[in-house]
């Protein structure tokens, strides 16, 4: 590895990150109508640790998510801005799924010595554009050299009032199951890419630039609606299983109620396609659930049962719905 | 990739981690003689995020560090327990360098489909042994598949009283420069490995099982001694430069004062060898600095100057000390 080049990469990445860190000292965020001090960034990139001062009387949420070249993205398919955007979106979506407010992000980034300055700059730009949209400063991280493609790990820290985080484990028999938005769009694009299609990112925003459901998650939590919640990262079938496992319950959903992108012929994408970053939540039958929340459609898919089985009702037949998101779509 | 195998790996890793998570619910830690509730772990591995309740009126420290196969370790050189130990030690050492108290760790781990159950189990065991020693529960993370070796990213969260984190930026001209322990042992072992030597880990503990200086860092901060502090991860020469850059000062150190493992012939290992995980700190001349702190020797190496130059005095000659840790030793 020619060292000047290696140094250069570190420098590019550090510079891009440093700008952001210095901008976010004592950040004031405006969110959902009220302005409050989410976090004072006391030391950012350039010290051993980031130092944050957070408002007291909040529970802290933390999530970490890998974005690995060849596993979660391909450089020949995904523009660098999309890779950066998706990297942060994964973390933000986990905060949304707890009903939390994201306050800071941290990025570990390993780059091959052959990385171009241009690629890294565009990656960081994509990540920072999303970070700005949600007022989540990039507050620290690590830079390393990679022997094998671009490797990123995003950490997002969020806040939630004490005891109010919406867990996966709260679903009870009789609860209704809901989903936000439409499903399958990301997998549909992905399937096109796999088949060699050239896709324009602007035509497939759900895949290239998904929007984490931060506001919807927070509003649902504030209204006290969900008994359990999860984001769809692995696919509806798999993520619904996660709720059932953690809650010790079963579920029954109806194929004709699933909001499928492009209609019924795409049902398998909606059932098993991952990375939709919509929210699945459950709520007691007595709770009023609006049809839209901050502009996002909310659809009732079925109900939680007392069995340990997850099933799909289609054309009048009920059959076991396997957790199959992983097999079909996890590996690009 | 045969799926059952892929699943198996996820399962191994999740199980190993889950045990730890369930053990650490509402963890009570005993540290430095006083028992206090560091963090209640409200939801751990198995939900979208980890939920932590931390004591109020503390600043939060966060650090992330990659451990990448072929970059930070080699499977043919490092036993899996050592890889796990070093992975967490890197993060803990950053918390030590701020004078902080570590409270929770998070691990993103990507494994090749070919990983053996045995290797992963031993890796996790090594990591958890260190986590137990410092009462830092492994509280969450991510598991992914890797196309290219074992990839780990450790996140450590720590606490420090408000405004008391010891930054790199506080060194002032006239301050004395100190270092804990002895230097060069890790690089000495590493140099042996590079030259094909078979080393027994128990004979080279500083390299295979380094101890982060958590207690020393905390005691120094409590006594109000350091004006600036950093841990030696990249090498004395490089990390001293980091303090100087962040503080806008220079430094002069004396070769004959450096506590070199194995004596003067190993000076280059002590100067430029990374991963010693000792602490460099500066303190005003008027401060009394004990010769040992909680058993660790403390040596005065030189002083901070008003120039922007870092220099080494050796055999009566003063010359520029380049930041050369990276070139010689960063890449195993």
Distance from CA of B215 to the nearest CA of A (A): 16
Name the residue among A47, A53, A56 with its Cβ closest to that of B168.
A47
- Tell me, yes or no, if B29 comes closer than 8 A to chain A by beta carbon: no
B80-96 and B117-133 helices, crossing angle to 10° = 30
Best of B6, B18, B64, B278 to mutate (most A CBs within 10 Å, chain A)? B64
Percent of chain A, pLDDT > 70?
84
Average pLDDT score, chain A: 85
- B48 at interface of A, judged by CB pairs closer than 8 A: yes
Put simply, whether B17 touches A (Cβ < 8 Å) is no
Reply yes or no on whether the pLDDT at B25 is more than 50.
no
Say if strands B59-68 and B151-160 run parallel, antiparallel, or are unpaired. Answer: antiparallel
ipTM, two decimals: 0.88
A80-93: pLDDT as tens digits: 999 999 999 999 99
When comparing pLDDT for B169 and B44, which is higher? B169
Nearest CA in chain A to B245: A46
Q: Do B106 and A64 touch (CB under 8 A)?
A: yes
Task: Specify the DSSP class assigned to residue B201.
Answer: G
Q: Where residue B120 falls among pLDDT bands split at 50, 70, 90?
A: confident
Question: Count of CB contacts below 8 A, A vs B?
Answer: 206
Asked if B109 and B174 touch (Cβ cutoff 8 Å), the reply is no
More confident residue, A303 or B116: A303
Helices (H) and strands (E) in chain B, counts: 9, 15
What is the reported pLDDT for B26? 37
What predicted TM-score, i.e. pTM, was given to this entire model? 0.90
A52, A107, A147 ranked by CB distance to B70: nearest: A147
In angstroms, what separates the C-alpha of A61 from chain B's closest C-alpha?
Answer: 5
Residue-level pLDDT at A196: 92
Region B272-291: what's the mean pLDDT? 95
pLDDT of residue B55: 82
Q: What is the pLDDT of residue B200?
A: 93
B320 at interface of A, judged by CB pairs closer than 8 A: no
Which of B212, B238, B196 is CA-nearest to residue B325? B238
Cα separation of B43 and B46, whole Å?
8
Least confident of A1-5, A325-329, B152-156, B291-295: A1-5
Determine whether A322 is exposed, middle or buried from the number of CB atoms within 10 Å of its CB (0-12, 13-18, 19+).
middle
- Lowest model confidence (mean pLDDT) among A117-126, A135-144, A187-196, B37-46: B37-46
Give the model's pLDDT for residue B9.
52
pLDDT of amino acid A36: 33
Residues 6+ apart with CB under 8 A from A61: A94, A95, A98, A100, A156, A157, A158, A159, A160, A165, B49, B50, B51, B52
Task: Give the pLDDT of residue A15.
Answer: 55
Give the per-residue pLDDT at A40. 52
- What integer is the mean pLDDT of B3-32? 45
pLDDT at residue B23, rounded to an integer: 43
Residue A112, pLDDT > 90, answer no
Q: Does residue B261 carry a pLDDT above 90?
A: yes
pLDDT at B112: 87
Within an 8 Å CB–CB cutoff, is residue B64 touching chain A? yes
Query: What is the SS3 assignment for A320?
Result: strand
pLDDT tens digits for range A254-270 = 999 999 999 999 999 99
pLDDT for A229 beyond 80: yes
Residue of A nearest to B97 (CA): A48
For residue B17, what pLDDT band results from cuts at 50, 70 and 90? low
* pLDDT, position B325: 66
pLDDT confidence band for B141 (50 / 70 / 90): confident
A12-49 pLDDT, tens digit each: 555 555 544 444 433 333 333 323 334 455 555 668 88
């Amino acid at each position: 590895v020619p060292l000047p080049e290696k140094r250069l990469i570190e420098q590019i990445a550090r510079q891009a990150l440093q700008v952001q860190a210095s901008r976010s000292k004592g950040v004031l965020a405006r969110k959902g109508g009220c302005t409050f001090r989410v976090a004072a960034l006391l030391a950012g990139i350039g010290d051993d640790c980031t130092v944050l001062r957070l408002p007291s009387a909040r529970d802290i949420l933390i999530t970490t998510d890998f974005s690995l070249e060849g596993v979660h993205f391909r450089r020949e398919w995904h523009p660098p801005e999309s890779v950066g955007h998706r990297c942060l979106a994964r973390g933000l979506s986990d905060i949304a799924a707890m009903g939390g407010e994201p306050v800071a992000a941290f990025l570990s980034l390993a780059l091959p010595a052959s990385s171009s300055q241009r690629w890294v700059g565009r990656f960081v730009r994509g990540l920072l554009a999303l970070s700005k949209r949600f007022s989540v400063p990039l507050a620290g991280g690590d830079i390393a050299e990679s022997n094998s493609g671009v490797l990123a790990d995003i950490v997002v820290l969020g806040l939630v009032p004490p005891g109010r985080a919406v867990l996966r484990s709260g679903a009870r028999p009789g609860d209704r199951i809901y989903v936000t938005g439409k499903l399958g769009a990301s997998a549909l694009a992905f399937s096109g890419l796999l088949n060699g299609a050239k896709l324009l990112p602007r035509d497939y925003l759900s895949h290239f630039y998904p929007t984490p459901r931060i506001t919807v998650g927070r509003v649902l939590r504030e209204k006290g609606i969900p008994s359990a919640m999860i984001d769809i990262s692995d696919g509806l079938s798999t993520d619904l299983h996660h709720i059932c496992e953690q809650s010790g319950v079963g579920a029954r959903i109806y194929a004709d109620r699933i909001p499928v992108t492009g209609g019924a012929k795409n049902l398998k994408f909606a059932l098993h396609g991952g990375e939709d970053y919509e929210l699945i939540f459950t709520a007691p039958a007595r709770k009023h659930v609006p049809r839209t929340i901050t502009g996002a459609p909310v659809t009732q898919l079925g109900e939680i049962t007392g069995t340990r089985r997850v099933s799909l009702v289609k054309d009048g037949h009920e059959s076991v719905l396997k957790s199959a998101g992983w097999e079909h779509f996890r590996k690009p």
